[in-house]
Amino acid sequence: MQEEEADKYIFGAPLNKEDREYVAKLTTYGLQRLEKEPQYLEQEKAKIQQEMEDLTVQHLPVFLNTLNTVTQSNKLVHSMQTHVHDMITAVPTLQSKSRLFTNAARNLRAKRKASRQLISNQAKVLEILELPQLMWKCARSKQYQEALDLKTFAEDMHKRHPEITILKSLVNEMQRTNGYILDELLASLEKSVQLPECLKIIGYLRRMNVFKHEQMLRKEFLTRRLKYLNSLLPDFPVHFYREEKKDELFMEEIKLKNFGNTLFFLLLQKKKKHTMIIVNKNR
């Protein structure tokens, strides 16, 4: 630090290593040598300049090629900077397109996976698509238990996979078959059916869950059976009603025609007075 401060004080700026060695060398010269030092320096300078000129003339092609190379390098660097700037500007758009491509590739991969699963499970898919047709065949052949099982199976699948629209279409189509089964069951209540068959029909109606309340189901059942009973009344022979002693024969006739359904007997007993009035008038 002291040497640098001394250099600044004497020479106005700090000296490097070579300058400091040259100053130290000057201190060893005598007075005559110091007086001639400027001339030596001028001669040395002229000598160096002459060598530089000779070197320039000798290697002129190299310098020209170097100049051309530097010029072309500058142009290429400028062009490169322009392209780099364009690339930096295009990076956000490239990133956005890359994200879109990634999402599209992910969707395609998911669709491809779904297609592979569909191909591998083609037989099962065909079975599911044939559920409405199979339910219709069961309904037409009066296999109501199997038909309702198929409908329940389709509804369970739709509840587990509500995002699959084809399952909703299948359920809607099977719902129309369900309406056909309902009409057939209700129509069968207007015909002559035995008690076990009647109970089976009620079980089907309860399982179909088309009536909001049990009371509605009972009302519909009584209405249908009453239609059947009304259709039976005109067919009874008149001689059964002429004497009160033959009331037991009348009840036996009703029992035979209704296959032991106690509910129907109670309804007929309520209508007995009305029937006897009609018979008396015929007398």
pLDDT band at 1 (very low <50, low <70, confident <90, very high): low
Task: Kindly tell me the burial class for residue 242, based on how many C-beta atoms sit within 10 Å of its own C-beta (0-12, 13-18, 19 or more).
Answer: middle
The pLDDT of residue 116 is 86
What's residue 259's pLDDT? Answer: 41
- Listing DSSP states for 179-208 in one string gives HHHHHHHHHHTTS---HHHHHHHHHHHHHH
Give CA–CA dist 267/274, Å, rounded: 12
State the average pLDDT for the chain: 78
Q: Which of 225, 241, 213 lies closest to 189 in space, CA to CA?
A: 225
142-171 tens-digit pLDDT: 899 999 999 999 999 989 988 888 889 999
The span from the CA of 196 to the CA of 147, in Å, is 20
More confident residue, 240 or 193: 193
pLDDT digits (tens, 9 = 90+) for 31-80: 787 788 888 888 888 989 988 888 888 888 887 888 899 999 999 998 88
85-107 pLDDT, tens digit each:
888 888 888 889 899 999 999 99
From 208, 107, 100, select the one nearest 151 (Cα to Cα). Answer: 208
Quick check: 234 pLDDT over 80? Answer: no
Please tell me the pTM assigned to this model. 0.46
- pLDDT tens for 111-130 read 898 888 878 888 888 888 89
N residues, the chain: 283
Q: Is the pLDDT of residue 250 over 70?
A: no
pLDDT for 279 beyond 50: no
Model pLDDT for residues 188-225, shown as the tens digit of each residue: 888 888 888 888 888 888 888 888 888 888 888 888 88
Q: Which residue has the higher pLDDT, 11 or 262?
A: 11
- C-alpha 30/C-alpha 28 separation (Å) is 7
Cα 283 to Cα 101, 142, 162, 239, 244, distances in angstroms: 97, 47, 69, 10, 14
What pLDDT does residue 2 have?
65
